[in-house]
Amino acid sequence: MTRDCHMVWDDCLRTLKKSVNPQAFKTWFEPIRPVQLEQDVLTIQVPNKFFYEWLEENYVEILKKSIRQELGERGRLQYHIPDQSNTGLNKPLLPKTSTPQPRPGNSKPSAENDNEPVPGYFDAENIKNPFIIPGIRRVKVDPQLNTSYTFDNFIEGDCNRLARNAGLAIAKKPGGTAFNPLVVFGEVGLGKTHLAQAIGNEIVKNFENKVVLYVSAEKFTNQIIQAIKNNSVNDFVNFYQMLDVLIIDDIQFLSAKLKTQEIFFHIFNQLHQNGRQIILTSDRAPKDLEGIEDRLISRFKWGLSADLLAPDLETRMAILDSKIGDEGMAIPKDVLEFICYNIKNNIRELEGVMISLLAQATLIRRDIDLDLAKEVIRNFVTTINKEITVEFIQQLVAEHFNVSVDKLHHETRKRNVVIARQLSMYLAKKMTNKSLKTIGENFGGRDHSTVIYSCKAVQDMMDTDMIFKDTVAELEKKIKMSLND
């Protein structure tokens, strides 16, 4: 049987799925459609040019590999990009209920507008009269951005790579990428607001004429309430429809606010249909938003939903290091490590510790060292192991060697259990002030000579095996650093 393009592509997808993470797979590979297979050339259709560029930039090697695997060494890939004018993105979604204002800004190539003076200034804070003054062709909107949130100080890590890169792509071509809307979601304190604002700031920097607005969902709701009161909903809608970039923060706040959702739905459709960029943040994935109408949720899924995860240790250290640098301060590396080991889930908390630490050091004129950091951190973490215990060491070592703590107490000759047991004894001797006798008792009632023997055995292994020595050092550090595990 000869294989057609679908079969070949399905097989490629199977390989690709193994080498890219699930979210990237869903974003970049699922939307691709195979269209033709001619000899060794497989043609695939991608949604737009940007998509193609992204694939070429980021996935070319694994694509090549999978194609060769399926079609042999001469196998090649060709892209097909459909005509953008009928991608379906521009289909009207709603009958118009109000006439859009004449557009300010630069949505069309508008040389006539470019040198015009700026006749009006719109301040979105001013709810009493937040709307365009009729007859004015070009208004200036205060984007309401906090300029200290930038891409430069938004440190990249595995936890935010997709969202950050999508944001950068949007900032280059607002409304012109597949990421419309971009929904950034994640738990509190992981950088949603920072990233959303960084995108806004970057667009303002790159495109002088684009009208950008950042608004919290709460403020957006309040403006609607005011507009209803003042009988000016149409003006409100018109104002929002002339934006080039709309950023709404914390859309979970719209939950159960039906009137607000209805108006937002309308604005969303108008903006999207006109190729304007929409950026939303949420504390949970769109599908998990409760009290938000299905028709809105389905629109949120049109673009890209990218989550922010808790950063790993290296990223936390990079973030903290950069923040401390911004303050014009420096702290010792072991203190930095200690803080990042202990504050894991929330970057805002990480900053909190840093600020307290800097404040304490200045106020009481003390050097920032590990002891001071420990004092400060106790206010931030709830459960603390005040001292290192034998049980705690057993737990960490057992975990590392993938054996149960229980096994350390019993007679087993299995090599990894024996090593885990000996190493736990060695670390207990080194890191607690327990006697040899007490340590032995903690290991199923062994006597002190067994502990001495174990310590010697570990020392010998460390002298001969560098990898083992590193493992010991790593575990020792982990034990020393963990206050709250």
Residues that bind ligand ADP (CB under 6 A): 153-155, 160, 186, 188-194, 319, 347-348, 351
- The nearer residue to ligand ADP, 171 or 420, going by C-beta atoms, is 171
| Interatomic CA distance for residues 360 and 335, integer angstroms | 14
- Closest approach of Mg ion to the CB of residue 258, in Å: 24
96/259 Cα distance (integer angstroms) = 17
CA distance 322 to 175: 31
Torsion of CA 457, 461, 462, 464, to 10 degrees: 140
Q: Which does 143 bind (CB under 5 to 8 A by kind): ligand ADP, Mg ion, none?
A: none
Nearer to ligand ADP, 96 or 348 (CB): 348
Q: How far is the CB of 151 from ligand ADP (least distance, A)?
A: 10
Residues between 97 and 126 with contacts to Mg ion, criterion CB under 5 A: none
Beta bridge partners of 78: 43
CB of 164 to ligand ADP, least distance (A): 7
282 binds Mg ion (CB under 5 A): no
Could you tell which of Mg ion, ligand ADP, none binds residue 479, using a CB distance below 5 to 8 A set by kind? Answer: none
Residue sitting closest to ligand ADP (CB): 191
Minimal distance in Å, beta carbon 249 to Mg ion?
A: 6
350 vs 373 by CB, closer to ligand ADP:
350
- State the burial class of residue 323 (Cβ atoms within 10 Å of its Cβ: 0-12, 13-18, 19+): middle
Tell me how many residues contact Mg ion (CB under 5 A).
2
Which is nearer to Mg ion, 188 or 313 (by Cβ)? 188
Cβ closer to ligand ADP: 167 or 191? 191
The string over 232-260, giving b where at least 16 C-beta atoms fall within 10 Å of a residue's C-beta and e elsewhere, is bbebbbbbbbbbbbbbbbbbbbbeebeeb
Per-residue x/- track, 181-220, Mg ion (CB under 5 A): -----------xx---------------------------
Q: CB of residue 194 vs ligand ADP: minimum separation in angstroms?
A: 3
Which residues contact Mg ion by CB under 5 A? 192-193
